Structure 1
Amino acid sequence: MMMLPVDQVAHGLVRNSASETYSPSKQNMVTRKAGGQKEADKEMQVIVDMREFMSSLPNVLHQKGMHIIPVTLEVGDYILSPTICVERKSIQDLFSSFASGRLYHQVEMMVRYYRMPVLLIEFSQDKSFSFQSTSEIGDDVTPHNIISKLSLLVLHFPRLRIVWSRSLHATAEIFASLKTNQDEPDEVKATRVGVPSEEGVVEDDVRAENYNTSAIEFLRRLPGVTDSNYRAIMDGCSSLAEVALLTVERLAELMGGQKSAKILRDFLDAKYPTLL
């Protein structure tokens, strides 16, 4: 039930696509030849995080006729429309991001700011792969099982869409399909997503009424606090002042380890140098 053909994924992410009878690939065709498709008059735009230029995907998207806008993004790797944000992961990166807890935070941010968050998982078409052998997949959910982690991620974020791609060129075709009937992304808004203002308020933050976003951002920047343990600290404390008064033992319980707790406690207890 989790795996859908590309055309059905695009069908579910675009507006009013149920009434359309033509092919999304034809609608998004970009051509320089006279007498081309009518939709070719408007060039498709994709906002790309600067760090993604270490890969070849932005170049492939450009070759497909898309206009690439390089910026520094706080949330997501690719912005396809005002509502669609894509986080791209290779298989190796997926494992490491799960291990560090970084993927959970990245998906949490996408769900927080975009109506249609997408996790793109790329694998090589020249090599077969599997997360684990069939014999190792049990009936129970275990914290160290990659299939369990992926399943829990989808269950925790029901709006998250997972897209599998076999190559860079396949990814470009998927992006073109997802952009069907979508408005073009706004560069200014995309760069401001997730960035606190001078007053400490995060623009368009849907959780601003329930969370002190300034305090959360401050907490996540403390030594020893990571993407995988800051939520436990928030659940165990009602304020930053309460965090500062916790013992090493209590911090170890919340942070999941003695080492991280000692790093934070030493930082909080360090004497401020005398100003001369």
Structure 2
Amino acid sequence: MTATRMPATFGVALRTWRQRRRLSQLDLAIRADVSARHVSFIETGRSAPSRAMVLRLADVLDVPPRERNHLLIAAGLAPVYPERRLDDPELAAVRDGVQRVLSAYEPYPCVAVDRCWNILGANAATAVLLDGVAPGLLEQPNALRLTLHPDGMAPRIKNLGQWRHHLIGRLRREVTASGSDELAALLSEAESYPGPSVESADPATVLVPLELCTADGELLTFISTVTTFGTALDPTAAELSIEAFLPADEVTAATLVCRSASQGSPQ
């Protein structure tokens, strides 16, 4: 995972995050219980923030752990959140937890992704989603690319315009919240893929379904749920999400159970 590029000075970085959260210097000062003058001095470089001040401002601005490290470094301070890969021994409990969740969702598809939508794990039932996907897309699988790329799932998604609008809107919000250059590049790539983008025809719609035709011509309808580690402090764990695709009707549920039974997968 490549670190998000941040401005060179803490003052510029702080102003960037403040503006991203649409707060004035006075708003930030009130929420952080400091003077607006002090916030101004920090942004202009006239005052150097302490570690406690950096973390307090980051907390108010809801800055993710990885980016908090970048803020600390920009302020000339050591980072406080360890940045490790998921295969690090220290994250064994996280890996085990992810695997348990993936297995528990069988016979329904479930994937674990990092903040850039790269797939880090998947259960056996996910194969139903990947029927017909070009092998090249599976070498370094990215959930967004697998879904919307014309060589991926896109040709088999019956409501592609609706699902595309849903995914790109979700990614746009993540770009705004995180300021990640990687996510911004992924958004630009996704928007370049051919395909319609339409909102739900019914504003009273409760959930956006995924309507997917299998290689055998069956129509499966899913609703998705996303799970995260709510108490994670490690950047890698905090950025993990687990997305499950649950059957939206009895036909889909029965089909998935039958497929699982025929393949000998656990239920």
TM more than 0.5: no
Give the helix-richer structure, 1 or 2.
2
TM-score normalised over the length of structure 1: 0.27
